[in-house]
Amino acid sequence: MAPTIRSPFRRTLALMASAAILAHAGMNGVAYAQTAPETTAPRVATPAPVTPEPAAPAPTPPAAAAPGTAAPAPTPPVPAAPQQAAASQAVVPNNGPASVADLAEGLLDAVVNISTSQNVKDDEGAGPAPRAPDGSPFQEFFNDFFNKQQGNKGGNHNVSSLGSGFVIDPAGYIVTNNHVIEGADDIEINFANGSKLKAKLIGTDTKTDLSVLKVEPKAPLKSVKFGDSSKMRIGDWVMAIGNPFGFGGSVTVGIISGRGRNINAGPYDNFIQTDAAINKGNSGGPLFNMKGEVIGINTAIISPSGGSIGIGFSVPSELASGVVDQLREYGETRRGWLGVRIQPVTDDIADSLGLDTAKGALVAGVIKGGPVDDGSIKAGDVILKFDGKTVSEMRDLPRVVAESTVGKEVDVVVLRDGKEQTVKVKLGRLEDSDQAAASDDAAPDGSQDDGVITPDPGENNDMDQPDTGDQAQPAPDTPDQHKGQVSPDAATPKNVLGLSLSLLSAETRKAFGIAESVDGVVVTEVTPGSASAEKGLKPGDVIVEVAQEFMKSPDAVAAKVQALKQEGRRNAQLMIASANGDLRFVAVPME
């Protein structure tokens, strides 16, 4: 067969065609990778972007055969590797989370830096200057040095501090933390545009650590408004703006990590916890939701180093907004007052009352002359709801009472005699409670938790730390004081629940120092190691009630305890009065 002679021109044309086909295939491949549809199911987190492996070279298509020549055999396609196939379908990386730049830009002008100064005497806390021993070779130099120091006493120096705040009214009202401006002689507000204005203190509330300041601007200021923190959920995005370490206008973003946190900062602790970075200087700054509303006021952090470790706390707006309104209007807070002493409902007390779970606040006493001294609420009641708000635990009650308007009539749901009842109560004003608390019928320690007076912590410790010291012996009984109320053998001491009980008489009152206002059955001796001893009962305590029933005699106590056992109760709830009349409830196991 005669050899075929190929023209150089035809070879060149075939090569150019092959190159065009390869370029077209490459462009199609890129276009496909960029327009691949997302396959992520709704509400499923998008996986991290996958870096594609280097693509395998595209197969070379056959060159166009010259006329009169045989077409070359087609090259079989090379199967793609599994990783290469997956890479071709990978989701293209996006540019990160949605930006909050537009939101922050509209809020920065409303957030301010607060600088304070305080004059402090140089010799505050200084003691007498030391003297060198007589005859010392350095006595002259030593005394000269300290004499000069003493001569310079009496001078002052300024102590400065920095914090944050935010404008809530274009007229110049600014909110911050009380601890930011506490004790300050001079308060200066630094705005985002570089201007500065002196501020005066309108009002402060130490219990919530909030203060309101006022400046006099020449033009209306950019302001922000409070949102509803009660609608925020754990996991919601939030943004903090403040002045950490003096770096004004710093923006950090995080989520709500927890709600209702109690950090023992005050009687109304109900903090929002966030992992948005909060540092020194952020105090008093706002915590925003993604609508640009203030839902918290940054107040505290937990940190071993002084810097943020992602645990910050903010006063919720549902509490702060009412306090701020009162400070603006009155320069002080005006809180509701219920006039009761309360204690926690423990598991044992809940069982003795027939509650399925430990909840509510147990009323340990009622302040004479207070809003509920009319008998609407009694000692032994468990407050379950107040003005439509559930009282899950004891610390909830002081907060919801304090947030209520003075003079308002509210519905209170209580558990009394095993049944829920609703009573109407007209609230007093907290400040009025000072006189009642100081009266003979109020708590002797004068402690009060703004709307609810709580027992002294040491009182509750008695329940866990029994007194095992010398126990007083039973004193002679004189049943004359209880004529017509007791059986003939009621004066005989009885042993119930590890307690030796006796009637109250002039002798027993004198022996234990029991006030005349206290009535019931006196404990004269406690068996060591008994359940009553473990609960902290001691000689001189007076059993006023058992299971909300007044006790007139030791026989009545024994009979009631026996009845409770027959009902299948595991604990007996005792109302105990101390010698001076303080009341508390103790649930003693009967097993």
Q: For position 498, which CATH number holds?
A: 2.30.42.10
Domain-located, residue 280: yes
- The closest alpha carbon to 392, from 357, 429, 438, 360, belongs to 360
pLDDT reading at 321 higher than 90: yes
Q: How far is CA 582 from CA 224, 431, 451, 454, in A?
A: 48, 22, 18, 11
Residue with token string 């005006």: 334
Per-residue pLDDT band at 456 (split at 50, 70, 90): very low
Q: Is the pLDDT of residue 68 over 50?
A: no
Q: Answer yes or no: is 542 within a domain.
A: yes
Domain end among 278, 305, 330: 330
Residue 152, amino acid:
N
Which of 210-224, 474-488, 515-529 is predicted least confidently? 474-488
Domain co-membership, 450 together with 548: no
Task: Measure the CA–CA gap between 254 and 271, rounded to whole angstroms.
Answer: 16
The DSSP H or E segment spanning 347 is: helix 347-353
Question: Are 380 and 397 members of one domain?
Answer: yes
pLDDT tens per residue, range 560-569: 998 888 888 8
pLDDT of residue 516: 87
CA angle, 491 as apex, 553 and 530 as ends, to 5°?
65
Q: Do the bridges between strand 271-274 and strand 250-261 make them parallel or antiparallel, or are there none, so unpaired?
A: antiparallel
Q: Assess whether 448 and 466 both reside in one domain.
A: no
Same domain, 442 and 533: no
Average confidence (pLDDT) over 477-496? 46
Cα–Cα dist 426/373, whole Å: 11
Q: Map tokens 């095992």 to a residue.
A: 468
Find the range with the poorest average confidence among 33-47, 258-272, 307-321, 391-405.
33-47
Q: Are strands 499-503 and 361-366 parallel, antiparallel or unpaired?
A: unpaired
Q: How confident is the model at residue 367 (pLDDT cuts 50, 70, 90)?
A: confident
Residue 235 lies in a domain: yes
pLDDT at residue number 449:
38
Question: Taking residues 99-115, what's their average pLDDT?
Answer: 94
Tokens 């595209």 label which residue? 58
Burial 547-581 (b: 16+ CB within 10 A, else e): bbeebbbbbbbbebbeebeeeebebbbbbbbbeeb
Q: What is the pLDDT of residue 94?
A: 59
Tell me, yes or no, whether 322 lies in a domain.
yes
Most distant CA pair in the chain, distance = 149
Q: Total domain count for the chain?
A: 3
pLDDT of residue 105: 94
**CA distance to 262, 396, 417, 584, per residue, from 344 (Å):** 15, 11, 18, 10
218 domain residue, yes or no: no
Q: Clarify whether residues 471 and 582 are in a common domain.
A: yes
DSSP classification of residue 193: T
Give the model confidence (pLDDT) of 532-543 as tens digits. Answer: 999 899 999 999
Active site annotation includes 283: yes
- Give ∠ CA 539-541-547 in degrees, rounded to 5: 130
The verdict on 325 and 343 lying in the same domain is: no
Same domain, 470 and 581: yes
What's the token pair of residue 77? 């396609």
Q: pLDDT by residue (tens digit) across 237-264?
A: 999 999 998 888 899 999 999 999 988 8
In this predicted structure, the answer to whether residue 441 has a pLDDT above a threshold of 50 is no
φ, ψ of residue 292 to 5 degrees: the values are 85, 20
pLDDT grade for 200, boundaries at 50, 70 and 90: very high
> Do 427 and 510 share a structural domain?
no
SS3 content of the chain, % helix, strand, coil (to 5): 25, 25, 50
Give yes or no for a contact between 554 and 502, defined as CB atoms under 8 angstroms apart: yes
In a domain, 251, yes or no: yes
- Over 60: is that where the pLDDT of 9 sits? no
CA separation for the pair 248, 232 (Å, rounded): 27
Instruction: Based on the residue annotation, tell me whether 179 is a catalytic residue of this protein.
Output: yes
Better-scored residue on pLDDT, 452 or 136: 136
DSSP 282-330: -TT-EEE-TTS-EEEEEEEE--SSSS--S-EEEEEHHHHHHHHHHHHHH
Cβ atoms within 10 Å of 192's Cβ, excluding its own: 16
Residue of 161, 164, 179, 449 with catalytic role = 179
Looking at the fold, whether 240 and 289 belong to one and the same domain comes out as: yes
> 330, 353, 373 — which closes off a domain?
330
Q: Give yes or no for residue 4 having a pLDDT over 50.
A: no
pTM of the entire predicted model: 0.60
Report the mean per-residue pLDDT for the chain. Answer: 76
Q: Which one of the listed residues 205, 209, 351, 462 is annotated catalytic?
A: 209
Res. 460: pLDDT tops 60? no
What pLDDT, on the 0 to 100 scale, is given for residue 226?
97
Four-point Cα dihedral 193, 195, 197, 203, nearest 10: 10
What span, in angstroms and rounded, lies between the C-alpha atoms of 283 and 111?
12
Shared domain check, 474 and 526? yes
pLDDT of residue 443: 38
Indicate whether 380 and 266 sit together in one domain: no
- Does the annotation mark 160 as catalytic? no
Domain encompassing residue 429: 336-455
Question: What is the pLDDT confidence band of residue 417, given thresholds at 50, 70 and 90?
Answer: confident
Model confidence at 574: pLDDT above 60: yes
**Does residue 199 form part of some domain?**
no
Domain boundary among 294, 309, 330: 330
Report the sign of the C-alpha dihedral through residues 289, 290, 293, 299, in that order: positive
H or E element that contains 186:
strand 186-190
Whether 197 maps to a domain, the answer reads no
Helix (H, G, I), strand (E, B) or coil at 539: coil
Quick one: 489 and 571 in the same domain?
Answer: yes
- Predicted local distance difference test score (pLDDT) of residue 58: 44
d(CA 381, CA 372): 12
Choice among 164, 229, 283, 578 that is catalytic: 283
Beta bridge partners of 543: 521, 576
The CA distance from 210 to 175, in Å, is 7
- pLDDT of res. 564: 87
